[in-house]
Structure 1
Amino acid sequence: VDQGNTVCDEATLRKVHLPPYRAAIKAGVGSIMVSYNSWNGEKLHGQKHLLTDVLKGELGFHGFLVSDWAAIDQIETNNFKNCIERSINAGLDMIMIPNGSGTKNNYVEFITKLKELVAEGKVPQSRIDDAVLRILRVKHKMGLFESTAVDPALTAAIGSPEHRAVARQCVRESLVVLKNESRALPLAKNIKHLAVVGAAADDLGVQCGGWTVEWQGKRGNVTRGGTTILTAIRNTVAPGTLVTFSRDGSDLKGADAAVVVIGEMPYAEMAGDRSNLNLAAADVALVEKAKAAGIPVVTVLFSGRPLILGSALDASDTFIAAWLPGTEGQGIADVLLGDFKPTGKLPRSWPRTNDGLTTATTAAVRPSASAPLFPQGFNLDN
């Protein structure tokens, strides 16, 4: 759920959610955007302990914290001045104010009220100085004081072979093999007939998900370059291998194995809110159709979150969580056809049912919680 509420104690928060921030700060990240969501009912935009004490103090974050779109408005209802005071004092350094003059909570009002808060001693001048210093430090590091002009030559690097190689590496190292019965994986490159099934197998937009090119993302050929799973498989198998493709499984007859590619359609933010996380019925039916053909079934799932797998997992000999791999489907083919041994682990536990969604985050660290389908950190080598 977009803008959700994470309910857990601080020990759980630190064990489950903090490690990626620690790693990013250690790598020198310059800015962090604070989420709309809440921790135990408190909006993060007003959470001084996490923003200042933990991120800036304990973890040594020297960059700047930026709010999300008009997010400070949610700290309190109908008291914009208090929202400004609480967010700045909590540690926010840059505030995203989308509203122009003449609208509620606009940037002119923000500037005016922040000046009042400083004059009243409710926001220390030292807090303003610290925020400004953090922003200028990042700008200096980026060379923006020497030149503010955009270098058109940099666009030539977009989609360069070097960048695609890194993206491909990220794909193959991040996907997680959840199941591999009968050693169906890796597939032999010289297999006689490999059926690739599912519309998602030949759709860059589905591979990329939301926030790519367009806010909500979209299906189809969303960018120049890039490799779908179908193309990647055809590029990798032996010359004599027949690779067929169908969206509905009509190419299964006579195949020696099937790669079934399923997943969510692109979405971003609230557009992705769902009352349940069940796989689409059509996706489940596609996997079961492949299983009925009596051949090994390797299922690849595209999703930005764990979904309830149900019978699709049972019908698969191999099941791979590929997340949203982006443009470099070749990274998946590297794993499918044995050029790379999968090493990815689950970053969080995977719920068994929709009833387990409220406990799935904490199940890996709280033995009393409902047992997930797969625990945090799972891979088949565990």
Structure 2
Amino acid sequence: MPLSPVTSPPLNSAQQHFVEQLLSKMTLDEKIGQMTQPEKNSVTPADVTRLGLGSVLSGGGGNPDPNTPAEWRGMVTAFQEGALASRLGIPLLYGVDAVHGHNNVVGATIFPHNIGLGAARDADLVRRIGRATALEVVATGVRWTFAPAVSIPQDVRWGRSYEGYSQDSALVSELAVALIDGLKGDGWNSPTAVLPSVKHYVADAAATWGSSKRVNRQALAEAQNAAQTTDQTLAIAHMDQSFVELLKLGAWQIDQGDAEIDEATLRAVHLAPYRAALEAGALNVMASYSSWQGLKMHAHQYLLTDVLKDELGFEGFVVSDWEGIDQIYPGDYDRCVVASINAGIDMVMVPFDAERFIGSLRRAVQGGEVFPARIDDAVRRILTAKVALNLFENPRTDPALLELVGCSAHRTLAREAAAKSLVLLKNEGDALPLRRNTSPLLVAGPDADDVGVQCGGWTVSWMGGRGPTTPGTSILQGLRHTLGAEQVQYSADGQLPVDTEYEVGLVVLAEEPYAEGMGDRANLHLSADQVALLRRVRARCQRLVVVLLSGRPLLITDELPHWDAFVAAWLPGTEGEGVADVLCGDVPFTGRLSFDWPQSAEDLPRREDGSALFRMGAGLNS
């Protein structure tokens, strides 16, 4: 059944007149320039002036050197000044992936990833996180974030599962709206409002395992070479393991794949959060790499134009994903450009070669393959968002906001979020909370003292990384601060003297950081090294507490009987003290699963009638 359109117009009549007057003054090249979004490493401020570019983005790891808030502000401001120096002086809309805080900036506050916020089930908390994130983003001159993801993950083998709040569409809608409200603040025309990009439209999380065609899996050696030489995107993904090894583990099996679901399911489950976001005033939607029933979303006129723009009445603009149009007809770029623009893409993310896209689209218009009216429609939508943000009146942001990046108030909020995101799933013999003033606590595992793994992917770099990638507090540091350093003994490898025994041992386990298809995994069991660590510590303690840092539920059915307590801590961000607060009883456990926790690999993908180790909504109080 068709949905009723969103009825609140983003602009008043005077603003609409301004957009039409500006549009009438623009040349074809200036219009195409507004539709073009390169990555900052491939253009200069002078290029922005010359080409009249509408946007520049920083991809994951697209940072200035040195990576400081002040350097970020200087970099973004230089691009904005380039835009203002163009013939018409149309301000730039700079975009970043601020998906759990301003996460590309060293020193910014890093909040829990969405899967943890889904477990917290606190819309007001998410709204406050959106507001804090907006302030840190605006401090660096940026006014656009590629968030929130409103995915409804169906198969947690997907490497983007942690970007989804929940497998419950209603909860996703509620939390997405809360984040949008926080990013908007007092209104889109406020100088601290940040434009959200609701993504990835639509049903990206319903793709079928094995349907991804991002990588040629029949030529692993060739793919490895491509990742390191010709494929500029995959070359950015620095991982500890080689590309071929990751492919063998399941990388790029589901991400960017094909959703084979019927339209009724697409509308009922996956489209609903977009409707909610539009009602909340969202003015940008990002198209998904994925396909629906075999047709790439970037070429899907029915879903992009007929449903989103016409049926739902969306008056904002649709942006492509990174090189997303290139996948429509691989090897035929001009055909990709024509298909994507005619389908309804308004701004195209062309990270490496803006002028190639500009030339291609110009030829398409001049050759009659793309009508001028479609170009005007796209540019009108982009200008509408810029006017709504009041960029023409206030293209520059307040430098005094820099003092808010990573400030104590925001870190206190992140600590609260980390605490609320924890889910207690087992607690035999009241192993938790940890008791004070008793025998020393043994903490084991390298992940207990690693801020990088707490934050996961999309942290400073695209894939994230281990170690002190950005300032923060590890779980071990939090426990020592709360219980006292003398009460916490630490062994990274769990190798202890034979005669050593503890009343309580606490092991922290973590997934290696990853993002997108690099994190697709066929096997979600704990590693052999992790199991060995658990057994070494189990042999030296009376009670064993396990804290799991992960971007999704892992398969723990065989190991769980050996644990007295089990805590799903997700990816809590920089404030490990929030985890310690709950483990030590200063804050109660209140989190509830927002995903089903599979009992075995046979439970994937999720089925309503399938089995589960723990069901959505599970969680104990302490």
Query: What TM-score do the two structures reach when normalised by structure 2?
Result: 0.53
The one of 476, 493, 518 equivalent to 1:230 is 476
Map of 2:464 onto structure 1: 217
Alignment of 1:23-38 (within 5 A): 24-25=277-278, 27-38=280-291
Q: In the comparison of the two structures, how many residue pairs are matched?
A: 366
| Paired letter, 1:73 | D
The one of 243, 251, 272 equivalent to 2:488 is 243
Map of 2:90 onto structure 1: none
In structure 2, C-alpha distance between the alignment counterparts of 1:20 and 1:165, rounded to whole Å: 29
| Paired letter, 2:386 | K
In structure 1, C-alpha distance between the alignment counterparts of 2:280 and 2:423, rounded to whole Å: 24
Map of 1:309 onto structure 2: 556
Unaligned runs of 5+ in 1: none
Alignment of 1:1-382 (within 5 A): 1-14=254-267, 17-18=270-271, 21=274, 24-25=277-278, 27-52=280-305, 55-56=308-309, 62-100=315-353, 106-116=356-366, 119-120=368-369, 123=371, 125=373, 127-149=374-396, 151-224=398-471, 226-237=472-483, 239=484, 242-250=487-495, 253-357=500-604, 359-360=605-606, 363=607, 366-367=608-609, 370-380=610-620
Map of 2:250 onto structure 1: none
Q: CA offset at residue 171 of structure 1?
A: 1.9
In structure 1, C-alpha distance between the alignment counterparts of 2:435 and 2:336, rounded to whole Å: 60
Distance 1:298-1:116 versus aligned 2 partners, 3 A rule: farther
In structure 2, C-alpha distance between the alignment counterparts of 1:64 and 1:148, rounded to whole Å: 19
Q: CA offset at residue 380 of structure 1?
A: 4.0
Q: CA offset at residue 214 of structure 1?
A: 1.7
Aligned-partner SS, 2:508: strand
Map of 2:3 onto structure 1: none
1:197 and 1:258 in contact (8 A); partners too? yes
In structure 1, C-alpha distance between the alignment counterparts of 2:296 and 2:585, rounded to whole Å: 46
2:453 and 2:466 in contact (8 A); partners too? yes
Q: CA offset at residue 140 of structure 1?
A: 3.0
Distance 1:251-1:6 versus aligned 2 partners, 3 A rule: farther
Q: More relative contact order in 1 or in 2 (CA 8 Å, sep 6+)?
A: 2
Aligned-partner SS, 1:296: strand
2:447 and 2:510 in contact (8 A); partners too? yes
Distance 1:147-1:322 versus aligned 2 partners, 3 A rule: same
Aligned-partner SS, 1:65: strand
Distance 1:338-1:32 versus aligned 2 partners, 3 A rule: farther
Q: CA offset at residue 68 of structure 1?
A: 1.1
Deviations 1:197-243 (A, max 9, x none): 1111111111111221122222111112x211111112223x59611
Distance 1:21-1:334 versus aligned 2 partners, 3 A rule: farther
In structure 1, C-alpha distance between the alignment counterparts of 2:267 and 2:273, rounded to whole Å: 10
In structure 1, C-alpha distance between the alignment counterparts of 2:300 and 2:590, rounded to whole Å: 36
Deviations 1:275-299 (A, max 9, x none): 3222221112222333333422221
| Paired letter, 2:294 | G
1:263 and 1:279 in contact (8 A); partners too? no
Quote the RMSD (CA, aligned, Å).
3.0
In structure 1, C-alpha distance between the alignment counterparts of 2:430 and 2:269, rounded to whole Å: 31
